[in-house]
Structure formats: structure tokens, C-alpha cells
Amino acid sequence: MTDHLLAIDQGTTSTRAIVFGVDGRERGRAQEELTQHYPGPGWVEHDPEEIWRATLSVTTRALAAAGIAPSAVAGIGITNQRETTILWERATGRPVAPAIVWQDRRTAERCTRLVADGAEPMVQARTGLLLDPYFSATKIGWLLDREPGLRTRAEAGEIAFGTVDSFLLWRLTGGRVHATDATNAARTLLYDIHRQDWDEDLLRLFAVPRALLPEVRDCAGPFGTSAPALFGGGIAIRGIAGDQQAATVGQACVRPGMMKSTYGTGCFMLLNTGDRPVASRNRLLTTIAYRMDGRPTYALEGSIFVAGATVQWLRDGLRLIASAGETAGLATAAAPERSVYLVPAFTGLGAPYWDADARGAILGLTRDTGIADIVRAALEAVCFQTRDLLEAMAADGAAPPTNLRVDGGMTANDWTMQFLADALAVPVERPVVTETTALGAAALAGIGAGVLPGLAALESFWGLDRRWEPAMAGPERERRYAGWKDAVGRVRTK
């Protein structure tokens, strides 16, 4: 029986595959870390071939862990790090350059010039996005102009562009399908989220040939079949969504007003706004939460570039800790009255500031500051940044949330979740299945394959593991947040 669903979750720091039953329960998984490359200040790259090799490896191992054959899988769902940009040859499938990661800031000057030229209002009106190097369009232009002859080849249709989902889909289908879904298309700065099509004015603005672009499809539906030789039998590919949108589905935030926040490499908060796109006045993003049967559901999104990556920096960069598991104990041991603040603007600041030139800082250091204080400040920074997003959403007219559903690796840290509830003055809910990104991708594949009846079925998947209630006194909460705002102000350049 085809009663299993396979999620390929290709993230910024790792690639994983998880097999779920159609009841939403995990059956098997595998994961591999992804090498980060930093060839210049503010530059971040991945090796597309490493991504592909890891995808094959974890998929094969997850199927083995679940003890099933490919014939038992109703569909594959792909979810991916968004905005990361890959160009490859159509004839060979060979990437023509390293992947430029969403965190990469090399095109900041180009974005600044476009803003100065007055292009941002038109861009924001059509895409819901701001002019920032975070998104794909200026990355594509940088790649096309870097190598002699590449732009000419792109215009001739010899080169393909894709975010990671498109690249994996191309490879999985043996080059038969060049497509993406609406959520990933909506993150390129090239897609009109109202007309649901690539926009010719935007293509001209960013000098991107239309011949590069994939076909845009719904999040659930046919995306081809994997080549039989890859896994010992072909598997239908039936769902695609960017990682934050997949997490929104996995958290069952399928009704307007529902909100989730994911804590992985970065932090991403999405508020479901239904069939009405809400234009932000506070530099949040209007985006597509998912598209089913040709009808988009929209979301208001706040994007923070660095969350869990700060803990990784403490471990690998400063070597203050040996593992992320140490951070809760250290944070508990730190003295909160020392008021140390860490602003993790390693690659600039995301929402609601959008300051590409800001850089990180640790403030409030005294002679008795120790490792525990710095670790606590790193965890607190994630929570304060989340409050920044919540404040911006409230200023855009969003009703105060009754709770916040959370997921991602950092939610395993109970200390951080309690401080998050305290910082927001909002209850925080962690689900039983914290791999909601993969679960959302699997659910979309299930809907696309016809083994799940629709989005309403997802609410039965969601179960509460733990809820944290705010416990901090109001004056203390506001004092600490004011200190955070002062710290951010000291690193901002605009």
C-alpha cells in the first residue's frame, strides 16, 4: 500500500529526509550537515553538488530506516531554504557556479542603487518584498555578469535558474521537469503575487532573461516522478513549498489569524491573512503562504537572518560551548542584572530594520562578564528579535495573538522558550512533532497524491507537547526590551 509520505527538507545547515505515515507519525529519518563557505565578507555559498549528494544519501537511508520500498511511498514533498540561487546547464545539469545563499549580502550595493532610483515602491507593490540582497533577483544578475558569455547563454535558453527546490526537482526527474511552486517563486523579486505570474517589468529591472525561469505550480499536485535508478523505483513528486511556508502548513496554521515562528538558522514568523494580501507599513513582507487549486493564501512575514546560527557561532567560531545542549544550563547560571546584549547582525539586520550594512556587537560588557552571560545574551537576542516582529505586525493592524506556535531546532531549549513567552507576554506552544517543516512538505505531498483530503485534515496532525506561560513582571519585561532596542540602535547604519 502507498501509505507513506517522504519529505526532503533541504535546509541552510543540513539536508534531511523523513518518512511519515499518512497519520503524520514519523517512520524513519536521516540527516547530513551541509558545509558553509564564506569566500568574502558577507558572502555565503553552498556547493550544489554536495546538496545533491546529501539528498540522495538521506533519502535512501530514510527509506531504509522506515523499512519500506519506494512503491510504498504515495508521494515526495520537497521543502527548501528559500531565495538561495542556483544556475545550471540544461544540457548537462551541471551547476555553473556555487549556490549563493539567502544570507549572502554581496549585492547590497546594487539594491541600494535601485532604492535610490525609486524602484522599491513598484517592486513592493507587485512582489510584497523589499529591495534587499536576501532575495534571488540580484543574485541571478550578479552570476550572469560574473562569467563572460553566461548571460548570452542564458538568453539563448541554455541555462536554467532555480531555488534549491527547482534544482532538486530537475535532478530527481532526470532533467524532465523545470518547475517550482508559488511560495518559492514569490521570494525571487520577479513574481507578481497578485497576478500569479512572472512580471516582465521586474525581469527588465533586474535584467533577468525569462528563458531562465521555471514553470510555477501549486504547492500540492504533480511535479513528475523520480528517476527509477535513484531509489530502486520511481516515486511521484507531489508537493513543494519553501521551508517557512511548509512549516506554516505543518503547524496547521491554515486559518486567517493563526501565527507560527520557526527557529532554525534564522527566525521566521508568518501570520496567515487568508485570501487578502496585507501591505505592510512597517517593512514586513507580504508573501504567499501556500497556493492550492490555483488560489493563493497570503501571509505577513517577518524574517530574521540569524537565530540558531548565533549558537552555532558560539560553538564553532568562539568555541565557548561544545554543543547547543549546554546553552540552557549556562543561561540559567548567568546573572540577568548584568544586562549584556548580543546583536547578531553578522549579515546585516532583517525585519523590521532591513539594514544590510549593520554588523554584530556585544554590549554591556564588564570585568565580571563571563561565558554564561554571553550565551544568555545570544538566546535572549532571538526572543527580542521575535518581539520586534510582533510589534511590527501589531503596527500593521494584526490582532494580538492568543498564542504563538513554535518549531525548529531551538525550540528544544526550554529556557529559551520560557524567555520567549516572557519577552512577548504571549503563551508559547511547542507541538509534539517539532519537524513541522518536513511534516508540512509531507502533508502537501499527501494532498497532491490524494491520500489526504485537504488542509483541514492537518489540524488532526497537530498535537501540543508543552505550553509556556509568561511569568516575567511587566516592568522588568519592558526594561529589558528597552535595553535591546538601545543595543540595536547602536549597530544600525540607517
- Please report the pLDDT score of residue 460 as a whole number: 78
Residue 256, number of CB atoms within 10 A of its CB: 15
Residue-by-residue DSSP string for 48-87: HHHHHHHHHHHHHHHHHHHT--GGGEEEEEEEE-SS-BEE
Domain that holds residue 192: 4-243
How does residue 52 score in pLDDT terms, banded at 50, 70 and 90? very high
Domain contains 444? no
Pick from 473, 466, 103: nearest CA to 306: 103
Kindly state the greatest CA–CA separation across the chain.
Answer: 65
Confidence of residue 181 (pLDDT cuts 50, 70, 90): very high
Cβ contacts of 177 within 8 Å, gap of 6 or more: 169, 170, 223, 224, 237
Res. 309: pLDDT tops 90: no
Percent of the chain with pLDDT over 70: 100
Contact 432, 464 (CB under 8 A): yes
Residue 1 has pLDDT above 70, yes or no: no
pLDDT score, position 418 = 96
Write out pLDDT tens, residues 12-48. 989 999 999 988 889 999 999 999 999 998 899 999 9
Q: By three-state DSSP, how is residue 213 classified?
A: coil
The answer as to whether 475 is a domain residue is no
Q: Report the CATH number that the domain containing residue 22 is assigned in CATH.
A: 3.30.420.40
Per-residue model confidence as pLDDT tens digits over 336-357: 888 899 999 988 888 888 887 8
Please check whether residue 457 lies inside any domain of the structure.
no
130/336 Cα distance (integer angstroms): 36
pLDDT digits (tens, 9 = 90+) for 271-282: 998 998 988 888
Residue 164 is assigned to a structural domain of this protein: yes
Quick check: is 41 in a domain? yes
CA atoms of 219 and 322, how far apart (whole Å): 39
Take residue 53 and report the three cell numbers written for it: 549528494
**Residue 192's pLDDT is what?**
97
Mean of all residue pLDDT scores within the chain: 93
Rounded distance between C-alpha atoms, residue 172 and residue 303, angstroms: 30
Kindly state the average pLDDT of the residues 282-295.
93
The band of 51, judged by pLDDT with boundaries at 50, 70 and 90, is very high
Percent of the chain at pLDDT > 90 equals 78
Query: Is 98 within the bounds of a domain?
Result: yes
pLDDT band at 305 (very low <50, low <70, confident <90, very high): confident
Full-model pTM: 0.86
Give a yes or no: residue 186 inside a domain.
yes
Q: What is the mean pLDDT of residues 359-385?
A: 94
> Does residue 434 lie within any of the structural domains?
no
Please state the rounded mean pLDDT for residues 143-152.
92
Rounded Cα distance between 299 and 228, Å, is: 37
Total structural domains within the chain: 1
Interval 216-243: pLDDT, tens: 999 999 999 999 999 999 999 999 999 9
Place of cell 489526504: 452
> How far is residue 342 CA from its own chain's centroid?
22
Q: How far apart are CA 287 and CA 183, in angstroms?
A: 8
Nearest Cα residue to 134 out of 88, 97, 84: 84
Phi, psi of 158 (to 5 degrees): -85, -15
